[in-house]
């Protein structure tokens, strides 16, 4: 059913602040349907929408649906008592709109995701692999360091079981892995280990969105760029446990997070979900204390 994450949308108190932050992060900004949108350089699809409002709050999430599946999805939604709604104010009009069990507006689009910006092969000399012969890596490592696609977003929820049932049984995502009692990661079939997920919390909210960059170097260049712009240092560099991706997070201006990732696990149909008791990082500094703070106002 759901084939991929299309974009996420936040209400924010100051669109100019949002625009500067997303540009420093490495996204291109523009205007669409009267909203501020941001997208990855070289990708013909918005990945973030920002709507002006008194406080930062999750506005909606948007997914692509496998071609031709929207009608049968509509039947399933009716059986699950998740009726179609009008698009919320400030949202795009297309697609099918519903509310998930937390009340978050969800857009379902009958279209294929735009291809991510093409990237070159990254040749490595690690382990027994010897691919990069006669090439000085430091002279090319900065050639392509910008985000190429939105990979995943994680939401806070007070009811991870109900949310997981809805997004799997009704919308067709699958559980990839869980960190016991804390995080649920969901996938849309073969590809990235997770495109969506939930962090247990007292109330709904937006935790972070994560963008793929072409290499671990690109993550570190991004972190340097943010520091150079006077942004807080954030959390990273590290390698995650669940999903195994290299990461660096920056706090956004409203108490949530934005991440660059590279080298995330790719799963296939044979993947078996596990339940783990592990910290989120395999190596690197532990997360800052505020990492799991849900500062979003209660609805």
Strands across the sheet containing 246-251? 274-276, 174-179, 183-187, 196-200, 149-157, 205-212, 257-262, 246-251, 235-240, 281-283
Fill in the DSSP letter of residue 170: I
Cβ at position 188, least distance to Fe ion in Å: 15
Task: Spell out, one character per residue from 88 to 127, where the chain touches Fe ion: x when CB under 5 A holds, - when not.
Answer: ----------------------------------------
| Site mask for Fe ion (CB under 5 A), range 49-88, x = bound | ----------------------------------------
Q: Which is nearer to Fe ion, 64 or 210 (CB)?
A: 210
Q: Which residue has the tokens 């990708």?
A: 43
Whether the CB-CB separation of 117 and 148 falls below 8 Å is answered with: yes
Q: Which is nearer to Fe ion, 102 or 259 (CB)?
A: 259
Smallest gap from Cβ 152 to Fe ion, in A, equals: 6
Which lies closer to Fe ion via its Cβ, residue 95 or residue 280? 280
**Three-state SS for 20?**
helix
Q: Tell me how far, at minimum, the Cβ of 194 lies from Fe ion, in Å.
A: 8
Query: What dihedral angle (degrees, nearest 10) is formed by the CA atoms of 128, 268, 98, 157?
Result: -60
Rounded to a whole number of angstroms, the minimum distance from the CB of residue 250 to Fe ion is 12
Residue 77 or residue 154: which is nearer to Fe ion going by CB?
Answer: 154
Minimal CA–CA distance to 264: which of 182, 157, 149, 161? 149
Contact call for residues 288 and 235 (beta carbons, < 8 A):
yes
CA nearest to 192, candidates 123, 99, 266: 266
Is the Cβ of residue 210 or residue 215 nearer to Fe ion in the bound state? 210
Q: Does 210 bind Fe ion (CB under 5 A)?
A: yes
Cβ-proximal residue to Fe ion, closest one: 210
176 makes contact with Fe ion (CB under 5 A): no
User: Contact region for Fe ion (CB under 5 A) — 42-50, 64-72, 78-86, 208-216?
Assistant: 208-216
Task: Give phi and psi for 213, each to the nearest 5.
Answer: -115, 165
Q: Give the binding-site size for Fe ion (rule: CB under 5 A).
A: 2
Q: Which residue lies nearer to Fe ion by CB, 164 or 210?
A: 210
Q: Which residues contact 241 (CB under 8 A, 6 or more apart)?
A: 179, 276, 278, 279, 280, 281, 282
Least Å from the CB of residue 251 to Fe ion: 14
Contacts to Fe ion from residues 240-269, by CB under 5 A: 259
Residues 6+ apart with CB under 8 A from 105: 59, 60, 61, 85, 87, 88, 91, 97, 98, 99
**Closer residue to Fe ion, CB minimum distance, 59 or 193:** 193
Q: How far is the CB of 283 from Fe ion (least distance, A)?
A: 16
Tell me how far, at minimum, the Cβ of 81 lies from Fe ion, in Å. Answer: 31
Tell me how far the alpha carbon of residue 244 is from its chain's centroid: 15
Which residue ranges make up the site for Fe ion (CB under 5 A)? 210, 259
């Amino acid at each position: 059913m759901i084939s991929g994450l299309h974009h996420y949308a936040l209400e924010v108190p100051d669109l100019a602040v949002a625009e500067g932050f997303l540009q420093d992060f490495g996204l291109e900004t523009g205007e669409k349907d009267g909203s501020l949108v941001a997208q990855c350089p070289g990708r013909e699809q918005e990945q973030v929408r920002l709507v002006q409002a008194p406080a930062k709050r999750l506005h909606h999430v948007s997914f692509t649906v496998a071609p031709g599946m929207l009608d049968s999805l509509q039947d399933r939604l009716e059986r699950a008592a998740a009726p179609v709604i009008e698009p919320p104010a400030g949202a795009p009009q297309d697609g099918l709109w519903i509310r998930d069990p937390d009340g978050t507006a969800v857009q379902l689009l009958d279209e294929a995701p735009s291809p991510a910006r093409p990237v070159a092969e990254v040749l490595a000399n690690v382990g027994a692999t010897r691919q990069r012969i006669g090439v000085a890596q430091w002279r090319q490592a900065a050639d392509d360091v910008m985000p190429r696609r939105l990979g995943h977003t994680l939401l806070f929820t007070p009811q991870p079981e109900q949310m997981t049932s809805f997004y799997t049984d009704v919308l067709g995502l699958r559980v990839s892995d869980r960190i016991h009692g804390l995080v649920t990661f969901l996938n849309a079939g073969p590809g990235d280990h997770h495109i969506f997920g939930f962090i247990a919390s007292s109330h709904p909210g937006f935790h972070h969105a994560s963008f793929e960059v072409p290499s671990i170097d690109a993550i570190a260049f991004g972190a340097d760029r943010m520091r150079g712009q006077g942004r807080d240092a954030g959390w990273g560099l590290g390698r995650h446990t669940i999903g195994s991706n290299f990461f660096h997070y920056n706090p956004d201006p409203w108490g949530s997070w934005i991440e660059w990732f590279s080298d995330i696990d790719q799963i296939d149909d044979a993947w078996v979900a596990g339940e783990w008791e592990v910290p989120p990082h395999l190596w690197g500094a532990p997360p800052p204390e505020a990492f799991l703070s849900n500062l979003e106002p209660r609805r």
